[in-house]
Amino acid sequence: MESFSPLSAALGGSLIGLAAAVLWLGNGRIAGISGIFGHLLPPVQSAVWRLVFLVALVLAAFVAAKLFPQLGVGGVEPPRLVEAPAAWGIPTPIWLGIAGLLIGVGTRIGNGCTSGHGVCGLARLSVRSLVAVVVFFGVAIITVTVTGVV
């Protein structure tokens, strides 16, 4: 957290909110990434906007990183993936694969992900989203406390 900047956080949060509002007002859809991505396969008739949204999401992040490198992670070392705890004896690629599968299962069980519930659901005053966000944050706090990884 030594490179936290309120300006870049506010700018990023505003852009996420703007993107969610534009998708909702322009297409009547919620900007939940797991739902958008999860309905790409098998292709449905609404796959085009989903693909455009996801490609634009990745491209915008790439362009922003190239145009404004000072808004990135910062520090001397280039950013890298977190490694699996050495004491657990699990190789990092397997650790990341298990984590990805658990995230996928969790978003399916929870009917959405942090972007869908946290950004769009709370904006719609959804009680289900409020409960989901409280659980997300609670589990995150417990995870950081147990693993010590921030």
- How does pLDDT run across 26-50, given as a tens digit for each residue? 888 888 888 888 788 777 777 888 8
Give residue 4's pLDDT: 65
In a domain, 88, yes or no: no
Whether the per-residue pLDDT at 76 is higher than 70: the answer is no
Residue written as tokens 């959804």?
Answer: 126
In a domain, 94, yes or no: no
In a domain, 98, yes or no: no
Whether the per-residue pLDDT at 134 is higher than 90: the answer is yes
In a domain, 93, yes or no: no
Cα–Cα distance between 80 and 12 in angstroms, integer? 21
**Quick one: what percent of the chain has pLDDT higher than 90?**
13
Kindly state the average pLDDT of the residues 3-24: 82
Range(s) of the domain holding residue 68: 6-80+111-147
In a domain, 102, yes or no: no
pTM of the model: 0.66
3-class SS at 85?
coil
Highest mean pLDDT among 5-9, 74-78, 103-107: 103-107
> Burial, 146: exposed, middle or buried (Cβ in 10 Å; 0-12, 13-18, 19+)?
exposed
Confidence category of residue 131, pLDDT binned at 50, 70, 90: very high
Residue written as tokens 């699990």?
Answer: 90
Task: Name which residue leads in pLDDT, 73 or 29.
Answer: 29
In a domain, 115, yes or no: yes
